Amino acid sequence: MIPYILNVGLILTACVCFYKLLLKKETFYKVNRYVLMLCLLIAFSLPLIHVPQQFSLRKNETSAISTNHIVPVKNSESDKNINTNNTTSVQPNTETKSSNSFSFNQLLQWAVWLYWFGVIVFALNFLLQIIILLYRVYSNPVIKDGKFRIVEVKGDKAPCSFGNNIFINPEKYEWDVYNQILQHEKVHIQQKHSLDILFAELVLIFQWFNPFAWLYRKEVESNLEFLTDDQLVQKEEVEKSNYQLSLLKVSAPHFPLSLTTNYNQSLLKKRITMMNTKKSSIHTAWKYFFLLPLLVVLASLLNEPIVKAQDNKTASADKKTEHYNDIKTEGYWFATIKDNEIRFRFTQDESDHDNYNGSEFSLSDFPNLPRGTNGDFKLTRESGTMNFNGKFDGNQGMGRYKFEPNKDFKDYMSAQNIGKIDDEDLMTFFFVNVTKGYFQMLKDEGFNDIGKDNVVALCALKVDKTFIDEIKTNGYNDVSMENLTALKALNVNGAYIKEIRDAGYKDISLEQLISFKAQGIDKDYLNKLPKTTGKGGTMSADNVVSLKALNVDAAYANSFKTLGYDDIDAEQLVSMKAVGVTPEYVKEFQTLGYKNISSENLVAMKAQNITPQFIKSFEDAGYKDVDIDNLISLKALGVQPDYIKSFKDAGYNDISLDNAVALKSQNITPEFLNSFASVGYKNISLDNAVAIKAMGITPEWIKDMKAKGFNYSDINKYITLKSLSEK
C-alpha cells in the first residue's frame, strides 16, 4: 500500500511540474482543466498497471512464489544433508542487531500509522466541511433563480458557490458588483467546477503529506478562476475593465471553505494578469503532446514489470503450495496416512474440516503414532517442536496440537538481522525446515542481506548449494535470491541454460531466461522461429518472448511471404499479430488494387479498423484510388462520405480528401462557414476556412473589428489582422 501511495505522489509531482513549466501560462483554460483532471485520474490508476518486462526501466523483481505460499517440504535425506552442513556460526552481538532491526521495523510501522492517522484527520475535515455547507444551505434564506439557489449569508464572508448554491451577503455590495458576482458564480455552477474541487480535495485526503498535491489543488482552483474570467469577459454585456474593478471590491477577511469555488483574494493579481494576456497561439499546442511520453517514462520507471514467471508451470506449483502464515501456534489437527506420507490439516475449530492449512510429512518422522487410543507424539526440528495429542483409527487421525518454539534458534535467527522473528515465523521455519546450517550456507554463497521471507521461499523450494553452484558455474555470479526462487520454481537448470545458449543466445540474462522458461520457450521453438530479424542476426530475446506470448510462429510469418512480404522483422510481426492482421485481411485490399501496403500501414489500418467497405464508401462518393495514408487519416479523424457530402451540398463541389482531412481536424462544418454570411462573406474558400478556424476567427470577432474601424472586403486581411494581434 505504501509503495503505491508513494508512486501516486511521484506521478502527481511530475504532472504538476509539467503543468507549471509548459501549460500554466497558456490561455487554453478549458484544455488545461481536462489535463489537470486527467492527470489526477492517471496518478491513481497508472501505478496499478504492469508494464511489459522489455519496456521496464527498473530491475525485474520477478518472483515465482509468494512469501505467503510455501511449497510442502518432506524431510528427505538430501534435505538433512543440507541442513547439517556448515553448522558452525559466528555469534554476533545479538542484542545490538536485534535492537536495530526492531527499531527499523517499529519506525516503519509508526510511519504507516501516522499516514493513516493523517488520512482519517483529513477525511473527517472533508466530511465536516460538507456538513457545514449543508447546514448553511438549509438554515439561511434562499432566493431561487432558475436552477441556481442564492443563499443569503450574514457577516463579512467572501462570496462562493458549491453545487448549484451561491453563498453571498447581498448587503455588502452595490447592485453592479452583486450582479457581477452572481454571473461569475453561475459560470462555476453551469460548468460544474465544484466537481473538480471535490476531486482535488479527495486527492488531498490520501496525499496530505505531499506538498505537490497541495500545489496541484491550488493550480486546479486557479485554472478554474482563469477559465471563468475568460468566459465572462467574452460576453458582450461584460466590460473587461469594469469586471476587473469589481474583483478588487470583493474582499473579505473570512475565507470560505476550501470545498467551494470562491473569490480567492490571493489570486486577484494573477487573474487580472491572465485576463490581459494575449491568447495562446494554436502553434503552442504541441506542448500538450509531451504529457504522453512523460507518463510512459514514469510507468517504465515506477511500475512493476509483468511477472512472466507466473505461467502454467508456476501456477501448477502454486496449487501444491500450502498457507502457513495463518496457522496459529495451537489448535486442532486432522491427518490422513497415504503410502509413506502423512497429510496434516491444521485448524482453529474442531468442527471445521474445510478451512484449514496443511502440510505433508514423511511417515518415518513419526515412529510411535497412537493407534486406537489417545496418546502423545511429536516432531522436533531446529526451530521448535510440534506436540500432538490424539489418535489414529486406521489411516485417519485427529486431535490437538501445540507448537513449542526453540528459544535458542529464535535468538540465533534474530541475531542475523533478518527482521523481527515471532513464534508464527518460527512455526513457518518449522514447516519448511529452515536450519542454522541452511542459513549459514546462504551466507557462505555470498547472500548477506537475507530476509526471513527469502529464507522461507528458498528453503521451501529446496534451493541448495548444488543448485546455486550450478547457476553460478554457468556465468551468473550475481544471481539474486528473488531470481533463484524463480529459477528453481520454473526448473531452470544448467541443461536448460546450455540448450538456450546453443540455440544462439549466448548472452541471455537471468530475467530473460526466466521469461523464456515461463513462456515454454525451448530449443525446438527457437529453431522453428521465423527467420525475420531484419538485420541478418539472431532475434533478440525480448522479441522472442513477445512472439511466444502472442503465439507468433513460422507459419504465421510464412503466410505473409506468399503475399510478397519477405522482409517483415520481429517487431513488425509482433505489431501485426497484436492488432490482428491476417493474410485474409491483406488479400481483401490486394483484391481492390492495393498491392504494396507496408507492414506499418497494415498495422495502422487494422488498428483503425479500416475495411474494404470503408474504401468502397469513398469510391461510391466519387473518390477513386484513395491513397493509404489518406485512408488512415480519414479513419483516424472520423471522416465519412456524409461529412464530405455536407460540404458539396453547401456548394463546395471540388472538395478533395486532403481538404476533408484538414477541415475535420479543425472540426469545421458547413454551418460554421455559412455563419460568416451575416458579416458579408459567402463562399469562403476551404483553405481560408481552415485558417479562420485555426486562428479562432468568428463572425462576432469580425463585427467587433468592423466596429473599431477595420472594415475589409477581403477576409484574408482579417486572418492577417488576427495573426498580428496574437504576436
| 320: confidence class by pLDDT, cuts 50, 70, 90 | very low
Q: Edge to edge, what strands does the sheet with 148-152 contain?
A: 142-145, 148-152, 165-168, 160-162, 261-262
List, in sequence order, every beta strand (DSSP E) within 329-395.
330-338, 341-347, 357-362, 375-381, 384-393
Q: So what's the pLDDT on residue 374? A: 94
290 and 379 inside one domain: no
What is the rounded distance in angstroms from the CA atom of residue 409 to the CA atom of residue 422?
11
Closest CA to 625 of 651, 657, 602, 653: 657
Q: Is residue 348 part of a domain?
A: yes
Q: So what's the pLDDT on residue 543? A: 83
What is the rounded distance in angstroms from the CA atom of residue 408 to the CA atom of residue 30?
68
114 and 220 inside one domain: yes
210 and 348 inside one domain: no
Q: Is residue 292 part of a domain?
A: yes
**DSSP-assigned beta bridge partners for residue 447:** none
Q: So what's the pLDDT on residue 267? A: 65
249 and 370 inside one domain: no
Considering 441, 460, 479, which residue would you say is the last residue of a domain? 460
Mean pLDDT of 247-263: 58
Q: What is the pLDDT of residues 682-727, one digit of tens each?
A: 889 998 898 898 888 999 999 999 998 889 989 988 888 887 765 5
**593 Cβ contact partners less than 8 Å away, ≥ 6 residues apart:** 625
Q: So what's the pLDDT on residue 202? A: 93
Structural domain including 408 reads: 322-460
pLDDT at 379 over 90: yes
Q: What is the pLDDT of residues 399-424, one digit of tens each?
A: 999 999 999 999 999 888 888 888 98
**DSSP-assigned beta bridge partners for residue 379:** 386
What is the rounded distance in angstroms from the CA atom of residue 722 to the CA atom of residue 28?
17
Q: Is residue 391 part of a domain?
A: yes
Q: How far is CA 693 from CA 278, 635, 673, 697, in A?
A: 18, 21, 10, 6
366 and 435 inside one domain: yes
pLDDT at 617 over 80: yes
125 and 160 inside one domain: yes
Q: What is the pLDDT of residues 334-344, one digit of tens each?
A: 999 999 999 99
256 and 348 inside one domain: no
Q: So what's the pLDDT on residue 452? A: 86
Q: So what's the pLDDT on residue 383? A: 95
Structural domain count of the chain: 2
133 and 99 inside one domain: yes
- Which tops the pLDDT comparison, 64 or 167? 167
pLDDT at 435 over 70: yes
pLDDT at 260 over 80: no
What is the rounded distance in angstroms from the CA atom of residue 600 to the CA atom of residue 66?
41
Q: Name the least confident of 25-39, 118-132, 238-252, 412-426.
A: 238-252
Considering 437, 460, 483, which residue would you say is the last residue of a domain? 460
What is the rounded distance in angstroms from the CA atom of residue 437 to the CA atom of residue 442?
9
Please, are residues 372 and 385 in contact by the beta-carbon 8 Å criterion?
no
Q: Is residue 641 part of a domain?
A: no
Q: So what's the pLDDT on residue 26? A: 83
- Which tops the pLDDT comparison, 679 or 88? 679
Mean pLDDT of 574-603: 89
Mean pLDDT of 94-108: 50
What is the rounded distance in angstroms from the CA atom of residue 86 to the CA atom of residue 240?
85
231 and 170 inside one domain: yes
Q: So what's the pLDDT on residue 250? A: 66
pLDDT at 312 over 70: no
Q: Is residue 662 part of a domain?
A: no
Q: Is residue 510 part of a domain?
A: no
**DSSP-assigned beta bridge partners for residue 397:** 335, 392
Q: Is residue 176 part of a domain?
A: yes
Q: What is the pLDDT of residues 140-194, one digit of tens each?
A: 998 988 889 999 988 777 788 988 999 988 888 888 888 888 888 899 999 999 9
Q: Name the least confident of 313-327, 352-366, 588-602.
A: 313-327
Considering 304, 336, 369, which residue would you say is the last residue of a domain? 304
150 and 271 inside one domain: yes
588: part of which helix (H) or strand (E)? helix 583-591
Q: So what's the pLDDT on residue 122? A: 92
356 and 275 inside one domain: no
What is the rounded distance in angstroms from the CA atom of residue 111 to the CA atom of residue 123?
18
Query: What share of the chain in percent tops pLDDT 70?
Result: 82
Q: How is 32-73 classified by DSSP, letter by letter?
A: HHHHHHHHHHHHHHGGGSPBPGGG--S-----SS-TT-B---
Q: Is residue 484 part of a domain?
A: no
**DSSP-assigned beta bridge partners for residue 167:** 151, 160
Interaxial angle between packed helices 312-320 and 510-518, expressed in degrees from 0 to 180 and rounded to the nearest 10: 80
18 and 156 inside one domain: yes
Q: So what's the pLDDT on residue 258? A: 64
